[in-house]
Amino acid sequence: MAFSTSCWYEQRQPWRAIVAPKALRTAQVSRATKETAIEVSVNLDGTGKHEIATGIGFLDHMLEQLSRHSLIDMTIRADGDLHIDDHHTTEDTGIALGQAISRALGDRAGITRYASIDLAMDETLTRAAIDVSGRPYLIWKVAFSQGKIGSFDTELFREFFQALAQNSGITLHVWNHYGENNHHIAETCFKAVARAMRAAVEPDARQPDAIPSTKGTLSA
């Protein structure tokens, strides 16, 4: 009588599913316009390594926080029309980074999808909530008492996160509960988004291959 050992072998070696290689969640994006030229690469399963040079010191500092606390490895190079102002470079960096994250996520199978966090820094508390929904949207409830931090326009933070949400396909809510120092308010926004992003894109061990939606897709 014919006898197959394949089922017996697989059932008794569950470690094979654990150590089986998964597709790398990485992506690269090159974006060039008459205003900016930007190169971005990401690894969603990284350790927070980063090489960032946008030509805007404070934006670099915030993007370093985004990488470090999301554990997403990021390389970002931007060459923009900074002789005009920081707007185009800031917004286009958000666009390119969002596109890279979206590509790295693929069909979103196996991700946790939802996450939120309240993040404290000294006198400041900020909440970020994320749904990797495929339906981009930004709610931004953050106010600054000054128009600039150093030479950086504080209104550009919203432009960055709007571009990031729109191009990564995430629903993003950022709400500063309170705070006095404008640097702290900005930094908690980036750190809170980073921590929420880290949790939302984390693989869900209970449904490693399932799309976390009754619709059956998060990319259409």
Q: List the CATH number of the domain containing 103.
A: 3.30.230.40
pLDDT beyond 70 at 15 = no
* Per-residue confidence (pLDDT) for residue 205, from 0 to 100: 87
Determine the structural domain holding residue 111 and report its residue range: 26-200
State pLDDT tens for residues 143-155.
Answer: 999 999 999 999 9
Dihedral, CA atoms, 91, 93, 173, 147, nearest 10 degrees? Answer: -50
pLDDT top residue among 12 and 86: 86
Q: Residues of the chain with pLDDT > 90: what percent?
A: 78
Which one-letter DSSP state was computed for residue 111? B
134 inside domain: yes
Backbone angles phi, psi at 6, to 5 degrees: -65, -45
74 strand-pairing partners? 42, 50
213 inside domain: no
14 inside domain: no
* Per-residue confidence (pLDDT) for residue 220, from 0 to 100: 64
Position 211 confidence tier, pLDDT thresholds 50, 70, 90: confident
Q: Residues of the chain with pLDDT > 70: what percent?
A: 86
Average pLDDT, integer, range 158-162: 99
208 inside domain: no
* Per-residue confidence (pLDDT) for residue 201, from 0 to 100: 96
218 inside domain: no
**Three-state SS at 87:** helix
> Cα separation of 110 and 201, whole Å?
9
* Per-residue confidence (pLDDT) for residue 35, from 0 to 100: 98
* Number of domains, the chain: 1
180 inside domain: yes
Query: What ranges make up the beta strands (E) of 47-170?
Result: 50-53, 73-80, 114-121, 124-131, 137-141, 148-149, 152-153
Position 124 confidence tier, pLDDT thresholds 50, 70, 90: very high
* Per-residue confidence (pLDDT) for residue 209, from 0 to 100: 80
> Cα separation of 77 and 32, whole Å?
12
109 inside domain: yes
pLDDT beyond 50 at 10 = no
**Three-state SS at 163:** helix
pTM comes to 0.88
Find the helix or strand (DSSP H, E) in which 175 lies.
strand 171-178
71 inside domain: yes
